[in-house]
């Protein structure tokens, strides 16, 4: 395969994986407006709903833990096909669940398919980055944010006018069509890393766990804004509900925009420098939000924080997927599992602390976590690009550097 043909395939693969990110975000965003209907349809308490949502997270983490092993055996393209096509059906299965036991199983499967799809699509994005020798991770996450925005914005209207089951069916049809088309053009790793095929085992290299810790600290902050920013503005800063809802809207809107711009910034300044600057901006925004005396200043501060956080997770995922001595899937599995565990644990932990304190000091403390990421930024140097043309020659013998 000549260089021009290889680059054309890589370009198609870049847009194919972007389509998968878009579909994953669309499915996730479409679940949010289904939650109130889910609560009333099953006639359950908020506590039971919380447990069911927790099962979604448990399923996601379980799949993420094993997905790296599957990718090292079969490649990210094959695994992404499995999880992508199965994941497109997840929301419909949940919407059809007639009782709590079946809903619990449906949530576990939905979370598992979305979680496995998440690891596989990020791993495939790393493969594309290597092939193109440039960053595409931030814009890929931008497509995820765009899909999430579309799913959340359109879902409420569709459910109100056509019903939850019709909404879930249409979402499933759209997601399945996008994924089925995109998987035809995904690119694959040139050579399987057979040394990792023997059995499931956690990586021994400590750096990947430190990168995972950085992802956890970043995603704890992201989850805190998602779950608690509106309540902070409403209860402590006196904003009405309409204004309070702008906190996460401003945060996520700026984040989505910056993710589409982030690859250019990262290609120009490098991953480590971009991560340092992003962490500094995010920490400053979170700190000002925690000290804010007015809701409008807090909204602006959260938007500034989103400007910084936007490219932190994509860079850390690239670093995890480019660790030496392991496949992209194995490193990605560790980093994504640790990162998303932060989103799962943070809401309940922050809620417990907030019952005995207030949200202002919590956001100030979260800014300190982002400063820790700033100080550890050099560990993300594996996200830098110095690809060798020979990396993708089919006649090159397999070398695994330890």
pLDDT at 89 over 90: yes
pLDDT top residue among 4 and 235: 235
- Cβ-contact 328, 189 below 8 angstroms: yes
Say what the pLDDT of residue 300 is: 94
Closest CA to 148 of 186, 118, 126: 118
Share of the chain above pLDDT 90, in %: 30
Residues 8-59 pLDDT 10s = 888 888 899 999 999 998 898 788 778 778 878 888 876 787 778 778 878 8
Express each pLDDT in 359-372 by its tens digit: 899 999 999 999 99
190 pLDDT band (50/70/90 cuts)? low
Cβ burial, residue 281 (10 Å; 0-12/13-18/19+): buried
Contact (Cβ atoms closer than 8 angstroms) between residue 51 and residue 348: no
Q: On the CB side of 301, how many CA atoms lie within 13 Å of its CA?
A: 23
Interatomic CA distance for residues 190 and 337, integer angstroms: 25
Tell me the average pLDDT across 73-80.
86
Q: Has residue 201 got a pLDDT over 80?
A: no
Reduced DSSP (H G I as helix, E B as strand, rest coil) percent helix, strand, coil of the chain, to 5: 85, 0, 15
| Stretch among 84-88, 159-163, 388-392 having the lowest mean pLDDT | 388-392
pLDDT digits (tens, 9 = 90+) for 285-320: 999 999 999 999 999 999 999 999 988 988 998 888
What's the mean per-residue pLDDT of the chain?
Answer: 82
- The whole-number average pLDDT for the span 396-400 is 31
Task: Provide the 8-state DSSP code for 294.
Answer: S
Q: What is the mean pLDDT of residues 136-162?
A: 82
What per-residue confidence (pLDDT) applies to 46? 65
Contact predicate 219/313, CB 8 Å: yes
């Amino acid at each position: 395969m000549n260089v021009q043909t290889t680059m054309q395939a890589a370009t198609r693969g870049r847009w194919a994986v972007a389509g998968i990110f878009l579909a994953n975000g669309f499915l996730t965003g479409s679940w949010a407006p289904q939650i109130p209907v889910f609560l009333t349809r099953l006639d359950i308490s908020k506590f039971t709903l919380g447990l069911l949502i927790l099962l979604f997270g448990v399923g996601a983490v379980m799949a993420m833990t094993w997905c790296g092993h599957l990718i090292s055996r079969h490649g990210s393209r094959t695994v992404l096909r499995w999880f992508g096509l199965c994941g497109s059906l997840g929301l419909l299965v949940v919407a059809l669940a007639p009782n709590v036991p079946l809903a619990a199983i449906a949530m576990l499967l939905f979370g598992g398919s979305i979680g496995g799809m998440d690891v596989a699509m990020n791993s495939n994005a790393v493969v594309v980055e290597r092939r193109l020798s440039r960053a595409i991770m931030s814009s890929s996450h931008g497509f995820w944010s765009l899909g999430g925005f579309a799913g959340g914005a359109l879902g409420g209207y569709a459910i109100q006018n056509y019903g939850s089951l019709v909404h879930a069916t249409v979402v499933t049809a759209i997601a399945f069509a996008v994924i089925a088309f995109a998987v035809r053009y995904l690119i694959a790793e040139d050579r399987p890393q057979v040394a990792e095929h023997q059995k499931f085992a956690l990586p021994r290299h400590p750096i990947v766990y430190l990168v995972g810790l950085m992802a956890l600290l970043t995603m704890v902050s992201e989850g805190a804004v998602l779950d608690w920013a509106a309540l902070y503005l409403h209860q402590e800063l006196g904003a009405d509900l309409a204004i309070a809802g702008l906190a996460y809207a401003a945060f996520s809107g700026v984040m989505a925009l910056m993710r589409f711009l982030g690859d250019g910034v990262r290609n120009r300044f490098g991953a480590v420098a971009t991560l340092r600057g992003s962490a500094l901006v995010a920490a400053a925004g979170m700190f000002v939000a925690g000290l804010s005396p007015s809701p409008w200043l807090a909204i602006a501060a959260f938007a500034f924080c989103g400007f910084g956080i936007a490219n932190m997770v994509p860079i850390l995922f690239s670093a995890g997927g480019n660790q030496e001595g392991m496949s992209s899937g194995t490193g990605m599995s560790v980093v994504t599992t640790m990162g998303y565990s932060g989103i799962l644990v943070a809401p309940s932990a922050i809620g417990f602390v907030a019952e005995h304190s207030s949200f202002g000091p919590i956001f100030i403390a979260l800014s300190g976590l982002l400063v820790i990421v700033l100080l550890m930024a050099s560990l993300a140097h594996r996200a830098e690009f110095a690809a060798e043309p020979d990396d993708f020659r089919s006649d090159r013998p397999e070398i695994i550097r330890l």
